[in-house]
Amino acid sequence: MKKRVEKVVKEKAAGNVEDEFSKIADDYQCSGSLEMDFPELCSLLGMKEIPAVTPRPPASRCQSHCFCHFIGWKVDELMARVLNKTLPALSNLQNLHLWRAGLTGRTLTSLKNTISLCSNLRTVVLEGNPLPEQSYHLLISEDSMLTHVSLRNNRIGEEGARLIGSALATAQAANNNLLSLNLAFNSIGDAGAAHIAQGLRLNRSLLCLSLANNHIGDTGASRLAEVLGPFSLTHDEVVERRRLLLRRDQSVRERTAHLHTTFFKFIFLGLGQSHSFLYIFGAIWDTGQIFHPVSLHQSAELVETVSPLLEPGVQHTGGRVILPGNTALTSLNLAGNMLSEQSLLLFLSSVGAQTEGGGLLRLCLNRNRFPPDCDSFLKIKELMSLRDPLNKTAPAQVDDEQGQAA
């Protein structure tokens, strides 16, 4: 392979060798070994400085999944091409960490496409990579298979938070795979927190969310507290709910009509078959395979896209449609913000109304603008200490983001 490259360089020294280099790189067949493929592809693309790749041994002999850490590497377009070839070839790649990689909107888009080709990649840590385009939401789009994403220290502001909130959920679509999202040490603010809260209204997969150190005050915190308890649907959400109900009812009617037709065809075809037909028909009737209204309704619901707008417990009060709050979220970190006791009262009300069937198990509110001995804070700590199944003896208000800023 190297001899071929040298030959190309000699033959086209006066011309444009870049295209030929690219073709050679595209034809390269990865072996599945990052230590072998990465430097080879970098060389084929004419990169002068090739970062060293140091394999990390598994923590235990039974651990076979792969971690890729790119710390301080500049991921320009050439490097993005190398990653696009090498990472999908790593069949056991599950974790990808990029810290201060100098990403741009274009290289992030390329990275997103690469991630979609990595069949087992579930965790992406993209920190210290501020983007003017604020396009981090591409990593958590509706079709993303990632379950854990960290976007700390990226200077995410209101626009980035708006895009992330829409990626979490809208009335028409939602991310159903993401379990944890770390947005600590950004600049989300009150307006951005409101956008994140909007996404939490109809998202039922996210379990852990960190918004620590984001300049969030009572206005943004109140929007977050609101979605934890019952809330009124907006006009657009009501319209979408009606559309889903009509679609579900239509599905039930179509299936009922189909089974009725099948039923009568079965009878007419069986006429004249005397006792053998009657015996078979009776057996099928007894097992309920011909027609059962409850089964029809359940099967219609199975084919319907799961949506919180159709979840049980919806109430109609004073012309409003009230949806039960988000009880899927189990951990919320708001440490290091600007919350006052006013916010604590709202959280105490919303969390206190959540039943044992779901809801927050951990709410971190350290280092905000209220005295640590205020009554509302103490009540929240007591409530959380009773709920947290992993922390029965230690204080419930542990701040895992403290000291992590860079």
Contact 86, 37 (CB under 8 A): yes
| Distance of alpha carbon 319 from the chain centroid | 33
Place of tokens 């990403």: 103
**Domain limits, the chain:** 130-229+325-406, 236-321
Confidence of residue 262 (pLDDT cuts 50, 70, 90): low
pLDDT digits (tens, 9 = 90+) for 2-41: 444 454 444 444 344 455 556 666 778 888 888 888 888 8
Q: Which of 42-51, 353-362, 374-383 has the highest mean pLDDT?
A: 374-383
Residues 196 and 164: their CA atoms lie apart, in Å, by 7
Enter the pTM of the model. Answer: 0.81
- Average pLDDT of the residues in 147-151: 98
Q: What is the pLDDT of residue 12?
A: 43
Element (H, E) at 291: none
In terms of phi and psi (left: phi > 0; alpha: psi -120 to 50; beta: otherwise), the region of 367 is left
C-alpha neighbours within 13 Å on the C-beta side of residue 126: 29
- Is the model's pLDDT at 302 over the cut of 80? no
- Average pLDDT of the residues in 246-257: 73
Choose between 129 and 269: higher pLDDT: 129
* 348-352, long-range: CB < 8 A, 24+ apart: 348/376, 348/379, 348/380, 348/383, 349/225, 349/229, 350/225, 350/226, 350/228, 350/229, 350/325, 351/228, 351/380, 351/383, 352/383
Element (H, E) at 321: strand 320-323
Q: What does the DSSP 8-state code read for residue 309?
A: G
Q: CB neighbours of 93 closer than 8 A, spacing ≥ 6? A: 65, 66, 68, 87, 118, 120, 121
The CA-atom distances, in angstroms, between 370 and each of 145, 257, 315, 345, 381 are 39, 63, 35, 12, 14
Contact 69, 56 (CB under 8 A): yes
Q: What is the pLDDT of residue 288?
A: 45
Q: What is the homologous superfamily of the domain 130-229+325-406 according to CATH?
A: Ribonuclease Inhibitor (3.80.10.10)
- Is the model's pLDDT at 294 over the cut of 50? no
Q: CB neighbours of 90 closer than 8 A, spacing ≥ 6? A: 32, 34, 66, 68, 118
Q: Which of 351, 399, 354, 397 is nearest to 374 (CA)?
A: 397
Confidence of residue 43 (pLDDT cuts 50, 70, 90): confident
Q: Which of 121-135, 247-261, 281-295 has the highest mean pLDDT?
A: 121-135
Residue 46, φ and ψ in degrees, nearest 5: 75, 20
- Is the model's pLDDT at 290 over the cut of 70? no
pLDDT digits (tens, 9 = 90+) for 112-140: 999 999 999 999 999 999 999 999 999 99
